[in-house]
Amino acid sequence: MIIIKYASILLAAALALPAQAQVIPNSRSWYLHWRNDKEVRQYVLEVGRGPTVVVIHGGFGAEHSYLLEPLVPLTSNYRMVFYDQRGSLRSPAGNKEISLSKLVDDLEALRQQLGEEKLVLLTHSMGAATAMGYLMRYPERVRGLVLTAPMVPAEGERSALEAPLDPDLLTPEEQAQADARFAAFWAGEQQRVAQVKARLAPAPSSTAGSDRYLTDQWHIEFGGVNLYHVERWSQVMGGKNLFKQEVADAIMADREAWQRWLKGFRPALASFRGPVDVVMGDTDFTDPGAGLWRKVLQRVGNAKLTVLPEAGHAYWIDQPGLSHGALEAALQHAFEPAGGKR
């Protein structure tokens, strides 16, 4: 299943600002208490004032703080509610307490605590999976969706370096075009990484500094997957101890549930009548050129696709100005009343 294979790259590339960077003006943090399981405490951070936007981080197994950089600048007009999903960094849980269904349960409990009748959900990467699970169960409780750099809702047993095989989504000609886009992305990614590594100082001849050098090598490859401008690799923080692989493993272990989710994803999106925005870079490794998402959104009534040039999975690092404008426009669309602007 292609999404599971994508997940290994996406999970290894879980982006994050330093976990301690939590002191933000006009913010408050608290814990969601899951009443039937006293051992699970979900960390929540509210920032800003205005209409409520619930932010769902990527992973599975990453944490929310990497999204502070692109989203805190929007909190003069919106109340952004960030949280670490069950099992992630600030919301520890045992592996037996982690599943996609329980992530949806947690999101509904959060909605109730916030006192919101309907939610606008803003996601990054695999956060789209939680949002779509929620939409499938509670379509009447979703006002709008802003899916940024979202994972691809497609099936197919192929390498993560290839486009998914999905005859229900792609014609044979479109499949060949998608395969070519994926091949070109990975070839270009290798070239960009090699160019940046060639400019790195040589490895130290002694033990001193060797770990720093090894970390830089890893960080460049990490940046290569997530960025078009790989030379900005030092801005892509996180991974390693900030990412919990066991969370992804626990969710993906239930293959039957994951297959049900895959089959329900596109129909749920197609039947949703609220606004849907997809914002992503043109060199996002999950869908280079956004060709797959273009096909998906053709079946969605109130949908917009924004593709940022020369931008990857961490699109806000590649294109800070353009991404800010795209997110502002997407949120305005999400809060439009039916039939017109607010």
Exposed / middle / buried, residue 304 (Cβ in 10 Å: 0-12, 13-18, 19+)? middle
Domain-located, residue 341 = no
The answer to whether the beta carbons of residues 110 and 131 sit under 8 Å apart is: no
Q: What is the pLDDT of residue 128?
A: 97
Domain-located, residue 342 = no
| 291 contacts: CB under 8 Å, gap ≥ 6 | 174, 177, 178, 181
pTM assigned to the model: 0.91
Torsion (CA) 318, 321, 322, 326 in degrees, nearest 10: 120
Could you please report the per-residue DSSP string of 207-260?
STTHHHHHHHHHHHHHHHHH-SSGGGGGG--B-GGG--HHHHHHHHT-HHHHHH
Torsion (CA) 284, 290, 296, 297 in degrees, nearest 10: 110
Q: Which residues pair with 148 in a beta bridge?
A: 124, 279
Domain-located, residue 124 = yes
Domain-located, residue 181 = yes
Assign residue 291 the CATH number of its domain.
3.40.50.1820
Domain-located, residue 325 = yes
Q: What is the pLDDT of residue 206?
A: 86
Domain-located, residue 186 = yes
**Count of structural domains within the chain:** 1
Q: Which residues pair with 41 in a beta bridge?
A: 33
Domain-located, residue 322 = yes
Q: Measured between alpha carbons, how far is 321 from 315 in angstroms, rounded to an integer?
A: 10
Q: What is the pLDDT of residue 83?
A: 97
Q: Measured between alpha carbons, how far is 6 from 49 in angstroms, rounded to an integer?
A: 36
Backbone angles phi, psi at 82, to 5 degrees: -95, 150
Domain extent for 298 = 2-334
Q: Measured between alpha carbons, how far is 285 from 208 in angstroms, rounded to an integer?
A: 35
Domain-located, residue 214 = yes
Q: Which residues pair with 30 in a beta bridge?
A: 44
| pLDDT tens sequence for the chain (342 residues) | 233 333 333 433 444 333 334 578 889 999 988 765 565 679 999 999 999 999 999 999 999 999 999 999 999 999 999 999 999 999 999 888 999 999 999 999 999 999 999 999 999 999 999 999 999 999 999 999 999 999 988 877 677 788 988 899 999 999 999 999 999 999 999 999 999 999 988 888 889 889 999 999 999 999 999 999 999 999 997 788 899 999 999 999 998 888 888 889 999 999 999 999 999 999 999 999 999 999 999 999 999 999 999 999 999 999 999 999 999 999 999 999 865 554
Which among 6, 19, 1 has a CA at the least distance from the CA of 243? 19
Q: What is the pLDDT of residue 153?
A: 81
Q: Measured between alpha carbons, how far is 270 from 300 in angstroms, rounded to an integer?
A: 5
Strand order in the sheet with 52-56: 27-33, 41-47, 79-83, 52-56, 119-124, 142-148, 276-281, 303-308
